Amino acid sequence: MGCKWSWVQIPPSRPSRFRHFHIQENLAIFDILVTNDDGIDAPGIRALAEKLREVGEVTVVAPAREMSAVSHALTIHEPLRFEPVEHRMFKVEGTPADCVNLAVMKLLPKPPDIVVSGINRGANVGDDLAYSGTVAGAREAAMLGVPSMAVSLASKDGSADYSHAAAFAAQILPVLAGKKDWSRRMFLNVNVPDSKVKGVRITSQGRRPSWTKVAEKVDPASRIYYWVKQGFTKVEKEALSDISALRDSYISVTPLQFDFTAYSALEELQSWDLRFNGSR
C-alpha cells in the first residue's frame, strides 16, 4: 500500500479555503468520511478516526455540538457553516445528515469510498433507530449512493473503551466499501457490546417499545417549561435481533434500508377497498 502527496485543484464551486486543500492521492487505500451525532469532540469519533487511518485517508466532518436523537433532520431554514478544527477534521453547525451532505456534495474533492458514522456512546438497537442521528448519518450516505455503516458501543460510560468497536469497523470496512451495487439502497448498523466479544451475529432490528412522559416544571422566572422523559418497556426476546445479540455479548450487524413500505400489509390494505367519492 503506497501513496503520494500532491496539491489537488478543487472546482471553483468549492469553498475558497479548500481551493488548494492538501490531500493524498490514494493508491490501494480508501477515502473515508467519518461523522457522528455526539459531536466533534466525542471520544468515540476520535477513536474511530484514529483506527480507520490504518486502512485509508480519513476526513472527519461532524456536528459542532451533540446532536443525539435528531434522527434524519436537515437544516433548511438557516445557513450551514463549517470550521476547520485539525488537519482533515471539520465541525459543522448542523446535524449528522447535514454533515454528510455538505462533505459529499461540497467539501470533498470527490465522493468518499465509504462513510462511517460513530462511534456512538450507547447502543442503537430496536426502536432507537427511529431517533438516532448516528444511524441517520449512514442512511444519508446510502441515499447519496455511498456505502456506509453506523457504529455504536453499548455503553454510556464516559470512560468507555472504544478500541474494539473501532477495530471491528476497520476490519469490515474494506469488504463493505467494495459492495457498491449492494449498498445503493442499504447500509449497515453495527452495535458492539461493552464486554468481551464472543463473535459476530447477522441480526434483524429488534423491538423495544418505549414510553414517553412530559414533565411540567417552573423556572426561576416563574415560566413553565417541559422536559421529555423516555424509557423502555419489556424487551421482546427475538433470538435473531440486535438486542439479543448484545445481551449475549455478540457484535450485531444489521442490514437496513430506507424503503419504509410495509409490504406484508399491501394485500390487506387492498382489501379495505378504499375509494374517493369526489365530494369536498
Which range has highest mean pLDDT (5-19, 208-222, 232-246, 248-262)? 248-262
The Cα 68–Cα 213 span in angstroms is 19
In which domain, by residue range, is 111 found? 2-206+235-271
Please check the confidence at residue 247 and state whether its pLDDT lies above 60: yes
Tell me, what's the pLDDT at 162? 97
Mean pLDDT, range 183-190, rounded to an integer:
88
Is residue 211, in this structure, part of any structural domain at all?
Answer: no
Is residue 30, in this structure, part of any structural domain at all?
Answer: yes
Tell me, what's the pLDDT at 280? 65
Is residue 102, in this structure, part of any structural domain at all?
Answer: yes
The Cα 93–Cα 140 span in angstroms is 17
Is residue 240, in this structure, part of any structural domain at all?
Answer: yes
Residue-wise pLDDT for 148-169, tens only, equals: 999 999 998 988 999 999 999 9
The Cα 56–Cα 33 span in angstroms is 10
Residue-wise pLDDT for 100-135, tens only, equals: 999 999 999 999 999 999 999 999 999 889 999 999
What CATH number corresponds to the domain at position 16? 3.40.1210.10
Number of domains in the chain: 1
Sign of the Cα torsion 241, 254, 197, 45 reads: negative
Is residue 227, in this structure, part of any structural domain at all?
Answer: no
Is residue 221, in this structure, part of any structural domain at all?
Answer: no
168 vs 11, more confident: 168
Helix 43-52 to helix 163-177 angle (10° resolution) is 50
The Cα 255–Cα 166 span in angstroms is 19
Instruction: Say which amino acid occupies 162.
Output: Y
Tell me, what's the pLDDT at 231? 66
Is residue 217, in this structure, part of any structural domain at all?
Answer: no
Q: Which region holds residue 278: left if phi is over 0, alpha if psi is between -120 and 50, else beta?
A: left
Is residue 71, in this structure, part of any structural domain at all?
Answer: yes
